[in-house]
Every structure is written in C-alpha cells, then in structure tokens.
Amino acid sequence: MNKHVLAAGVFAAGLASVSQNASATDYPLTLENCGRTVTFDQAPTRVVALGQSNTEILYMLGLADRVVGTAVWFNPVAEEYRDANAKIPRLADNDPSFESVVGQKPDLVTNQYQWHVGPNGAVGTIKQFSELSIPVYTAPADCVGKDNTTGGDGTRLDAFSMDLIYRTITEMAKIFDVEERGAELTADLRAREQAARDRVSDVDGRGISALFWFSSAELDVDPFVAGQKGAPAYIANVLGVKNVIESDDEWPKVGWETIARSNPDIIAIGKMDRRRFPADDWELKMKFLQSDPVTSQMNAVKNDHVIVLDALSMNPTIRTINGIEKLADAVDGFHMDTSN
C-alpha cells in the first residue's frame, strides 16, 4: 500500500513539469508509423478504433466524444468508461467489415493489429483507406521490431517493452492536440509500472517457470501459447520467471506433449469475452487441463498453480501492468521453493 501511495505522490509531484513540457500540436503533423508516413492537417473529429487497447487509450485521453465506432474486443471495457462506451456503436466484437468502418465517415482509423488493417488487412488495406483519404494509425507495439509477414500473429524481432505503449499514447495525444493529457497519462502509467516492479522486487521468481495459454482453435489441438518476446514474456522477465516456450513467434502453436515435457510450475490462462474459439472460455481451459491425461500430470495442474489473466494483459496493452501484478501475487502466494 505504501508503495502505491508513494507512486501516486511521485506522479502528482511530476505533473507540474509534465505540463510545462507539453506543447500544442503544429499542423500539418506527419508521423512515421509502421514503415510509412501519415499526415494530419488537423485533429481528427471522427475516429473508428479497431482494438480494445487503442479504444481505451482514446477514452483515457478524454476523447470518447471523437470515437464513432469500435471493434475487436476481448474483455469488458474498463469500468470507468462503461457509460461513454455504451453510447458508441460497436461495429463488431471481432472483425468488422470494411463497409461498416467507412460507413461511419471517419477521418481516422486506428488499429491495434496490422492483420486488421495493413498490407493485407482482414478489414481493409492501407491502400483502400488511402483511396478514400482516410488516414490509418497502427499501434507501434504491433509493428516496431516485429515482422507480420510470417503469418499468424507475426514474429517479434525485438522483445516487447511498455515503452511501445507509452509511444502510442504520446503519438495519439499529439495527433489530437491533447499532449498535456498524454504526458500526464504516460507519467501515471510509468509510476504504476514502477510501483509494480517495486512490489515484485521482493519476490525472487528465479527458478520458477510458466506457460501462458491464450486460446486454441479446438480444445484438443495444439494451443496458442506465448513466445519469448511478447507481452507475457515481458511480464515474466520483470519477475525473473522463465517462459517455457522458446519461440519468437507472438503466439506459436505448440503441442501439449512438448509443453508437458517442459513441466511449467505455473500456467496462466487467458480470460476473455471473445468467443472466436471454444478455448476462449477460460473455464473450458481449466476443465481441459484437469481432465486431459497429458496436461493433468503437469506440476502446475497437480499443485493447483493455474491462474487466470485478463486476455488484454497478455497482449501488448496498457493492461500488461495488471498482468505483472497478478503473476507476482501468484508467485508470492504459492510459496514456491526458488532455491533449485
């Protein structure tokens, strides 16, 4: 508790300098974004947000009144934004159509994943939106240090860092000419992350291993699990916990027999409202782990060391910090022997 209070105090003390450093946006504004340039002649007034993280960042920046459509949701919106979110059309829980997006007459489309809007986007391509003079801003966390041409969820060349989320906030604040709000939000989140790091500094997680299971196309097939360079790896690294999956792919498919041989001490399973796959249901994941003849023999399952994480915290989002806190609680609460 004291550390959280201290973090809040550090944040409050820094607001004066933050406000002094923030400046008004000069238009036209040109940004480098995912290997291309995007230019804004003025602050957008009609935004379609594809991806829950980008949507919540807009809300946190006080821009809910600019959002005219959302899509790609994993979990309920943060409680403090429920009323504002309820007034905004949800174009789809998952992938909206190109027509539904342009039908909102946006002057900006912001997307969390390139596979929705990118060179070969499932919703549309950059070229399609450019032909309609609609700029697209993609979250840097999905393209900086990442190769999305490898299929699936792409391959990270560089490990994810929360700095990519702070960059998103800073750039979106600049696009909308709310740089002071962006600076304050970033300072607040940095203080929270530091408080989380301080919280886990007393938890020696070294020697403990973990698996992060996001979902599966079917319950009895190879699951989508976290690789070495995504958000779950960032969470684990902060605690000194070893991710048992060696792949650099964002969410590689790995067989349960291979996972069982690695025998993780902790299994984190993703919880989401999305129901694209049967294993999107965390309770079905839990039942599978306990009943399958292979998975039920793993130490994490036998010792009841299975935790449930918000799916957004397992992705590169502002909620990744929540994942750090939840895994730290697990390591601490399980009273694991880290001497081996």
Q: How far apart are CA 220 and CA 236, in angstroms?
A: 26
Phi, psi of 281 (to 5 degrees): -80, 115
87-114 confidence digits (pLDDT tens): 999 999 989 999 999 999 999 999 999 9
* pLDDT: which is higher, 217 or 6: 217
pLDDT range class, residue 202, cuts 50, 70, 90:
low
Q: How far apart are CA 134 and CA 117, in angstroms?
A: 12
217-236 confidence digits (pLDDT tens): 999 899 999 999 999 999 99
**Is the pLDDT reported for residue 339 higher than 70?**
no
Q: How much of the chain exceeds pLDDT 70, in percent?
A: 90
**Shortest CA distance to 212 belongs to which of 111, 293, 285?**
285
Q: What is the pLDDT of residue 192?
A: 83
**Shortest CA distance to 116 belongs to which of 58, 175, 53, 158?**
53
Contact 154, 147 (CB under 8 A): yes
Amino acid (one-letter) located at 51? G
Q: What is the pLDDT of residue 340?
A: 42
**Shortest CA distance to 158 belongs to which of 172, 147, 167?**
147
Q: What angle do CA 229, 234, 239 make, to 5 degrees?
A: 135
275-317 confidence digits (pLDDT tens): 889 899 999 999 999 999 999 999 999 999 999 999 999 999 9
Question: What is 180-195 written as a DSSP string?
Answer: HHHHHHHHHHHHHHHH
Q: What is the DSSP letter of 25?
A: P
Q: What is the pTM of this model?
A: 0.85
Q: What is the pLDDT of residue 337?
A: 52
Phi, psi of 77 (to 5 degrees): -65, 155
Q: What is the pLDDT of residue 316?
A: 93
143-201 confidence digits (pLDDT tens): 999 998 887 778 889 999 999 999 999 999 999 999 999 999 999 988 888 887 777 67
**What are the tokens at 36?**
């291309």
Q: What is the pLDDT of residue 240?
A: 85
Q: What is the dihedral of CA 275, 280, 282, 288, to 10 degrees?
A: 120
Mean pLDDT of the 125-150 span: 94
Q: What is the pLDDT of residue 280?
A: 94
Q: How far apart are CA 340 and CA 319, in angstroms?
A: 32
Amino acid (one-letter) located at 274? R
* Residue 109 β-bridge partners: 48, 136
